[in-house]
């Protein structure tokens, strides 16, 4: 009987074998990049029918790849869904239904619990197969265990050798220094780390996406001659409605569309780097969301498409998208 992580690796192997058949060459150890959006709706992309969202690199990525039309999230909230994705196990199997001291099933900045260390993540599994591993962005699977600074639940303890700019806990719309979204900033939830070192509290959103992108590019440059696994976990688009100056007013859709345009731009930058380094044909890139949009806190926070709306529903998510090939998982 296969372990859950083996099941994840088998899935990737099936997709890779499909790629290898199309390319007529073996891909024994393909590079793997997961782009994970935060609370992203089924209907938020132009290619999924949104009438005013601009067509961007994520849509183009999908047009050139494979579309999974039945990709269901394992949980309705961030922590259990992300833990399930990284371990291949149902959230309840590993106790990932939140901090028992809280009334909602996610880890918060004061939690002393996190992803259990005995659980094997895909990063650990691939590392044992000779992969370099790294991540940037939203973690949300625990921070500290025994005191307020030990960092025992951070990603470097779960198989990630390189940990760049990360948000250990993120509802970053609570951290808007302009106070456009909320009248005050929740400092206890607003901090930015690099590896296990706190950089800012509260932090500025202005260069956040660019910082994550630079870290990711540096990792790929450093490991371009060996197989690598990278987890690019966006803080977009969890009701944040933040974007850098360059993307403000870039979307007919408004603030939320600006946010998506910035995220899509970052994905496009990464795909272009793969082409520039001649890595594109040996890299599996996947775009998905942890679950559906949060619409309770903000009226502009995502579109569920043909689904019922709001978080508390099973949902489908895109990976590679194409007009000709479709797969169901």
CB 66 within 8 A of CB 301: no
DSSP characters for 254-309?
-HHHHHHHHHHHHHHHHHHHHHHTT-GGGEEEEEEESS----SS-TTS---TTS--
Catalytic entry in 50, 100, 129, 140:
140
Active site residue 78: yes
Strands (E), 109-253: 132-138, 162-167, 192-194, 197-200, 228-233
Whole-angstrom Cα distance, residue 237 to residue 216?
19
Helix (H, G, I), strand (E, B) or coil at 37: strand
Active site residue 190: no
CB 139 within 8 A of CB 196: no
**Catalytic sites, residue numbers:** 78, 140
């Amino acid at each position: 009987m296969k372990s859950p992580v083996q099941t994840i690796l088998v899935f990737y192997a099936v997709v890779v074998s499909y790629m290898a058949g199309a390319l007529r060459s073996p891909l024994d150890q393909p590079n793997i990049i997961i782009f994970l959006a935060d609370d992203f709706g089924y209907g938020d992309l132009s290619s999924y029918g949104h009438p005013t969202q601009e067509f961007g690199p994520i849509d183009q990525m999908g047009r050139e790849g494979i579309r999974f039309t039945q990709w269901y999230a394992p949980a309705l909230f961030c922590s259990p869904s992300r833990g399930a994705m990284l371990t291949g196990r149902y959230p309840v199997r590993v106790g990932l239904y939140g901090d028992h001291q809280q009334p909602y099933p996610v880890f918060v900045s004061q939690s002393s619990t996190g992803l259990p260390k005995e659980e094997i993540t895909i990063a650990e599994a691939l590392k044992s197969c000779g992969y370099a591993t790294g991540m940037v962005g939203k973690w949300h699977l625990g921070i500290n265990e025994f005191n307020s600074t030990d960092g025992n639940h951070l990603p470097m303890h779960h198989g990630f050798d390189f940990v760049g700019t990360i948000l250990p806990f993120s509802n970053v719309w609570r951290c808007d220094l302009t106070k456009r979204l909320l009248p005050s900033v929740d400092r206890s939830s607003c901090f930015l780390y690099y590896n296990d070192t706190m950089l800012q509290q509260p932090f500025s959103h202005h260069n956040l996406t660019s910082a994550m992108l630079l870290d990711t590019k540096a990792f790929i440059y450093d490991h371009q001659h060996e197989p690598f696994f990278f987890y690019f976990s966006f803080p977009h688009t969890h009701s944040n409605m933040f974007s850098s100056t360059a993307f403000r007013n870039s979307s007919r859709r408004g603030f939320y569309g600006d946010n998506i345009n910035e995220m899509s731009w970052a994905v496009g930058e990464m795909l272009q780097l793969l082409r520039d380094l001649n890595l594109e044909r040996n890299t599996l890139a996947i775009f998905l969301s942890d679950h559906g949009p949060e619409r309770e806190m903000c009226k502009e926070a995502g579109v569920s498409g043909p689904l019922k709306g709001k978080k508390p529903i099973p949902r489908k998510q895109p990976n590679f998208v194409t007009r000709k090939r479709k797969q169901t998982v």
